[in-house]
Amino acid sequence: SRFLRKPFEFSRQLLRVESCSITELQSLIPLAWTSLTQKLRRAPGISLLDQRKRFSTMPEIETNERDSELFSPPSDVRGMTELDRTAFKKTVTIPVLKVKKEIVNKLMRSLKRVALQRPGIKRVIEDPEDEESRLIMLDPCKMFTHDPFEKAELSILTQLNVIPQISEYNLELTYENFKSEEILKAVLPEGQDVTSGFSRVGHIAHLNLREHQLPFKHLIGQVMIDKNPGITSAVNKINNIDNTYRNFQMEVLSGEENMMTKVRENNYTYEFDFSKVYWNPRLSTEHSRITELLKSGDVLFDVFAGVGPFAIPVAKKNCTVFANDLNPESYKWLLHNCKLNKVDRKVKVFNLDGKDFLQGPVKEELMQQLGVSKERKHSVHIVMNLPAKAIEFLSAFKSLLDGQPCSSELLPTVHCYSFSKDADPAEDVRQRAGAVLGMSLEACSSVHPVRNVAPNKEMLCITFQIPASILYKNQSMNLENHEDPPIKRQRTDEGFSEEKTQIASNT
């Protein structure tokens, strides 16, 4: 970097410039600095030490815009589709304060407010002209104020015998100095949304690019890898999750094509092939929430278990877990992760359609559980995390069990997930779940908002105990004759049926 020092009174004599005229100097200085130079030249009597008179006051918005322009990539990278890191070089002029090297540490604590806060850029550098001194880089935005130094800061400078004389340093910025958001904002068409967020799945960055971003997809993928340590592959989802096994097609945008990954969630480890199973890191909090509801000795039926994010933490609480998934790959990795987390003896794993699982293993176990001692203290929970379709599977509970009903406190609790685009998503989920069951859930259910999936699309979890009138055959037969007409009509309108196509799992 080329160094020059010139007081802010901008006298005509430069202390050190390598064959650089005033005209050439101005070409290196950003707009804000050039404007300030011109103003200060018209006031030759300004004193270097008079902090209150040195700078003209500038509006805050104008200052922020200039600061943003100062640290933005060069304008000629706009429209770049193939990443050229060398095109991001740019020279900016930074205000610096010269101090003796032995007082730098003491001084930096007092100058935190005005010191340059820019990731990847050193705030203290060597003085090319004096090995006994150091240069403290200052925030240009803070220097363009009426009082760049506060009284306390000036007091410390005086105590340490530092003259508050600001000089300039020509700093070369490169690709490494810019954030991913800044790079993409400079490259993509002006005014377009910038992708800087992604789901991290181990070493994989999973993006959902919009149509206007697709021409830049390979560049975006490479920037995500460059700017996020540990990310070695960037992929883009290229279809909706609408197939039998709930995995989605993806395109590798940049980096290695290895989709075998390992993730840590809530202190548990999961390994899987991301291209063949479904995994959503945004559900971590929900996995914890459900896990905390169960106590040691409880029973969990996980109908759409995926690779185990509900089943494994619950099993670690000394609960009995029955975990199922239709996807053979999810089933394989579910078995693997149970062993990996040392809960394989507490989890019974199945590879069945959700309806077959409910009407087979779940029915058999419930008949045994609910027929045991009436003083049983543990509870039974059924998790159905397949938001696109889970509500339809509630029909499997109708007339599921034979015999006399158990006491109401022993009835299983269902946690069923769903998406909703309704203006009142909680009421929408209650209505749809009630329509499938043939009863109202208004007074006997709770709805928990899980996350916002997309604009006007929410993911929710409805929790309720299955009434004996629904669960037991002899009770259900009596209920059919008194089914509420409006709910009957809604079931017909929405076309719910007992027979469902095999679909797959969701974590």
pLDDT of residue 415: 98
Split at pLDDT 50, 70, 90, the class of 342 is: very high
Tell me whether residue 25 is annotated as binding.
no
For 90-173, the fitting CATH number among 3.10.150, 3.30.70, 1.10.3470, 3.40.50 is 3.30.70
Task: Please state the rounded mean pLDDT for residues 75-93.
Answer: 95
Whether the per-residue pLDDT at 43 is higher than 50: the answer is no
Tell me whether residue 218 is annotated as binding.
no
Task: Please state the rounded mean pLDDT for residues 337-353.
Answer: 97
Q: Are 331 and 310 in contact (CB under 8 A)?
A: no
pLDDT of residue 246: 55
Task: Please state the rounded mean pLDDT for residues 261-266.
Answer: 97
pLDDT of residue 116: 92
Tokens 């099993």 — which residue?
315
Task: Please state the rounded mean pLDDT for residues 226-247.
Answer: 78
Of 1-5, 182-186, 360-364, the one with minimum mean pLDDT is: 1-5
**Crossing angle for the helix pair 425-437 and 485-494, nearest 10 degrees?**
100
Written as six digits, the tokens of 447 are 């709805």
| Residues sharing a CB contact under 8 Å with residue 271, sequence separation 6 or more, in sequence order | 260, 261, 262, 333, 336, 337, 340
Identify the burial level of 176 via C-beta atoms within 10 angstroms of its C-beta, where 0-12 means exposed, 13-18 middle and 19 or more buried: exposed
Q: What is the CATH number of domain 180-258?
A: 3.30.300.110
For residue 493, report the phi and psi dihedrals to the nearest 5 degrees.
Answer: -60, -40
For the chain, domain boundaries: 90-173, 180-258, 277-471
Closest alpha carbon to 54 in 96, 112, 10: 10
pTM here is 0.74
For residue 25, report the phi and psi dihedrals to the nearest 5 degrees.
Answer: -60, -45
Q: How far is CA 326 from the centre of its chain?
A: 28
Whether the per-residue pLDDT at 418 is higher than 70: the answer is yes
pLDDT of residue 55: 35
**Distance from C-alpha of 304 to C-alpha of 238, rounded to nearest angstrom:** 23
**Angstrom distances, CA of residue 88 to CA of 71, 74, 184, 407:** 11, 6, 12, 71
Split at pLDDT 50, 70, 90, the class of 37 is: very low
Task: Please state the rounded mean pLDDT for residues 105-124.
Answer: 89
Q: Are 382 and 414 in contact (CB under 8 A)?
A: yes
Q: Are 325 and 306 in contact (CB under 8 A)?
A: yes
Whether the per-residue pLDDT at 253 is higher than 50: the answer is yes
DSSP 154-179: HHHHHHTT----EEEEEEEE-GGGS-
For domain 277-471, the CATH architecture is 3-Layer(aba) Sandwich (3.40)
Whether the per-residue pLDDT at 427 is higher than 50: the answer is yes
Written as six digits, the tokens of 20 are 């650089």
Tell me whether residue 385 is annotated as binding.
yes
Decide which of 56 and 190 is more confident: 190
- The distance in angstroms from the start CA to the end CA of the chain is 52
pLDDT of residue 18: 33
Greatest CA separation for the chain: 101
Q: Are 313 and 438 in contact (CB under 8 A)?
A: no
Decide which of 89 and 455 is more confident: 89
Q: What is the rounded average pLDDT for all residues in the chain?
A: 81
Tell me whether residue 326 is annotated as binding.
yes
Of 239-248, 289-298, 349-358, the one with minimum mean pLDDT is: 239-248
Decide which of 430 and 211 is more confident: 430
Tell me whether residue 325 is annotated as binding.
yes
**Distance from C-alpha of 286 to C-alpha of 384, rounded to nearest angstrom:** 13
The SS3 assignment for 147 reads coil
Whether the per-residue pLDDT at 475 is higher than 70: the answer is no
Whether the per-residue pLDDT at 61 is higher than 50: the answer is no
* Beta-strand pair 204-207/233-237: parallel
Tokens 């929710």 — which residue?
460
**Crossing angle for the helix pair 60-70 and 31-41, nearest 10 degrees?**
120
Split at pLDDT 50, 70, 90, the class of 42 is: very low
Task: Please state the rounded mean pLDDT for residues 440-448.
Answer: 95
